[in-house]
Amino acid sequence: MKIYLDNGATTKVDDEVVKAVTKYFTAEYGNSSSIHQVGRAAKEALENSREIIAKSLNAEPEEIIFTSGGTESNNLAIKGIAFANKEKGNHIIITKVEHDCVLNACRWLETQGFKITYLDVDKEGFIDLEQLKSSINNKTILVSVIHGNNEIGTINDLEAIGKICKENKVLFHTDACQSFTKTEIDVKKQNLDLATINAHKIHGPKGVGALYIKKYTKIIPLFHGGGQEFNKRSGTVNVSGIVGFAKAVELANKADIEKMEKLRDKLINQVLKEISHTMLNGPRKKRLCNNVDISFEFIEGESLLMRLDDQGIEVSTGSACSSKSLEPSHVLLAIGLKHETAHGTLRMTLSKYTTEKEIDKTIKVLKEEVAALRVMSPLVKD
């Protein structure tokens, strides 16, 4: 039995999505810019999908721009707003726990004359609203705060942040790749000017995302070409992928969220209870319904990951060794973890397909494998 607990990385595509997508590969394969029948059919599917996605965010259809995914949407939001507003100011505020694509887009903007403030987070991963307020100055053009943190599951209060941005007349963007369909996003209530979402985290296809851009917001496109997507994202539109994206949004439901929350809490509670020297990262409440992130003292994450993998359990680490760099995760360091604790951290992310049986097996195997690695560890003293 294979147990996939890495749904924060990507998810299995829902069978219904596969069915919906296939039609637009083989039967309705037209280019949505063409005006003949098959083109019009593609255009209709595109606009239906746009409506479904707009509705899920309480946005208007013309405010949804389809892209190739989260990375592109975040780059378009940050660079597009920066260059459209450079006469107004050159200051952008983000947090220390953003996804790499936001962080690295901002680091690059620093080389182009922009100033970036990286907000701190508390030990649960929340930003401090007072620090946000005091960081805004007359050069600030954009605030970008991740909605649901991809590593530790923290859900930031978009409404409170949006209110501050509105009062100070700065644009507000959120990277909602992990939280989309899992917790409420209401662009009007939360005063969002831009929001990044994508398909493959919600059982849709890879290579499709969207950026919500509030009406009348000036933005410089990343791609220039045929003027697709309201002149904001040129390139032949990925109709099949977008149809799959919309289908995945339609399939998302409250019952699945509640099921994930229940299993998430079981996994957290049992691991903390049955394995000593463990610690949950991120908050208990205001946490993504599918995210579990636990540090195991005295052992290293990659070793634990590979031992679980041998038993058919697929998870990820917050450890350096999972990537090419040797530095532990910037998110875990930002919440104040020591390096060796950060190195011993596992992220387990559930989906609607996760079963209680799988969670029980995971707890059992974790117990055994953590014990086996601790026998080898020089950090354990008897």
Where in the sequence numbering do the catalytic residues fall?
Answer: 321
Binding site for another protein (CB under 8 A): 298-300, 302-303, 306-307, 310, 319-321, 324-328, 338-340, 343, 375-379
Between 167 and 310, name the residue whose CB sits nearer to another protein. Answer: 310
Q: Provide the greatest CA pair distance for the chain.
A: 77
Between 203 and 343, name the residue whose CB sits nearer to another protein. Answer: 343
Amino acid identity, residue 336? Answer: G
Query: What is the C-alpha to C-alpha distance for residues 25 and 28, in angstroms, rounded to an integer?
Result: 7
Query: What is the C-alpha to C-alpha distance for residues 150 and 177, in angstroms, rounded to an integer?
Result: 8
Q: How far is the CB of 298 from another protein (least distance, A)?
A: 7
Q: How far is the CB of 341 from another protein (least distance, A)?
A: 9
Query: What is the C-alpha to C-alpha distance for residues 176 and 147, in angstroms, rounded to an integer?
Result: 5
Q: How far is the CB of 373 from another protein (least distance, A)?
A: 8
Between 1 and 375, name the residue whose CB sits nearer to another protein. Answer: 375
Element (H, E) at 4: strand 3-4
Closest CA to 1 of 242, 291, 283, 359: 359
Amino acid identity, residue 136? Answer: I
Tokens 């050069």 belong to residue: 139
Q: How far is the CB of 318 from another protein (least distance, A)?
A: 11
Task: For 165-188, give the DSSP string.
Answer: HHHTT-EEEEE-TTTTTTS---TT
Closest CA to 48 of 196, 253, 249: 249
Alpha-carbon torsion 65, 54, 126, 265, what sign?
negative
Tokens 């990507």 belong to residue: 10
Structure tokens at 2: 């294979």
Between 194 and 335, name the residue whose CB sits nearer to another protein. Answer: 335
Closest CA to 187 of 203, 165, 206: 165
Element (H, E) at 292: strand 291-296
Q: How far is the CB of 306 from another protein (least distance, A)?
A: 5
Between 232 and 307, name the residue whose CB sits nearer to another protein. Answer: 307
Between 66 and 298, name the residue whose CB sits nearer to another protein. Answer: 298
Q: How far is the CB of 251 from another protein (least distance, A)?
A: 34
